Amino acid sequence: ISASKKIIKKTNLTIKQGVRFRENSSLYSKLFSDLKIKSKYNQYFSFAIGYRFSNDWNKQLELSQKNRFYSDIYYKDRYKKKFLFDARVRLQTQGNIEGYAATFRHKSAMTYNIPKTKLEPSVALEYFLPFESMLIDKLRYTIGLSHPITKDLDVELVYRIQQEFYANNPQTLFIFEGKLAYNF
C-alpha cells in the first residue's frame, strides 16, 4: 500500500507499507516501511532519495532488522501515446549494525495503454549488481496489469520471477504481488 502527496512544485513525498510472505503465504518474509522524496526535473527525468526500514525473517524464523538508503534516477518516455518506456537506476546501501552492502540496480519497463480501456499491461526486467563482487547476482522478470479504481486510486496485480546467481543454494522465487496506490 502506498500514498503519494505533492509537497512542493514538481516534488512528491511517498510513503509505502509492505508485507511479503513465503511458503504459500503462510509465513512472514518481510515487513517494511519506505519513505521517498521524488522530484521531477523535466518531462523525461526525475530524481529521488529514500529510506526503508524492514524486519526480515529467515527460513529459521530468526528476525533481523535492516536499513536501506537509496537514490534513484528515472527516465520516462512515451511512444505513439500508447507505449510508455520507463527506466530506473538505483544506488542503494542496505544493512544493519553488523555492516552495510552497496548495490547497483537497473530496472527497465514497458507499459501499454490498451485502446478504449483503462487497463495497462506491463513487462519489466531488473538486475542487481553488488559492488563487492561486481557480478549480477539477481534478476527479476515481471509482468503486470494495472487499472485505476478512481481518479486518485490505482490497483495493480503483478507476477514476478526472481533468480539468484552465485550463491551456495541459488533460489528461484515465483512472486504474486498486489499493489494499491493512492495519490492525493
pTM over 0.85: yes
Report whether 60 contacts 73 (CB < 8 A): no
Distance CA 156, CA 182 (A): 12
Q: How confident is the model at residue 48 (pLDDT cuts 50, 70, 90)?
A: very high
pLDDT at 155 over 80: yes
Distance CA 73, CA 46 (A): 6
pLDDT at 58 over 80: yes
36's grid cell: 521517498
Q: pLDDT tens digits, residue range 87-141?
A: 999 999 999 989 999 999 999 999 999 988 999 999 999 999 999 998 999 999 9
Report whether 109 contacts 89 (CB < 8 A): no
What pLDDT, on a 0 to 100 scale, did the predictor assign at position 169? 84
| Cα–chain center distance at 16 | 11
Distance CA 91, CA 128 (A): 10
Number of H helices, E strands in the chain: 0, 11
Distance CA 117, CA 80 (A): 16
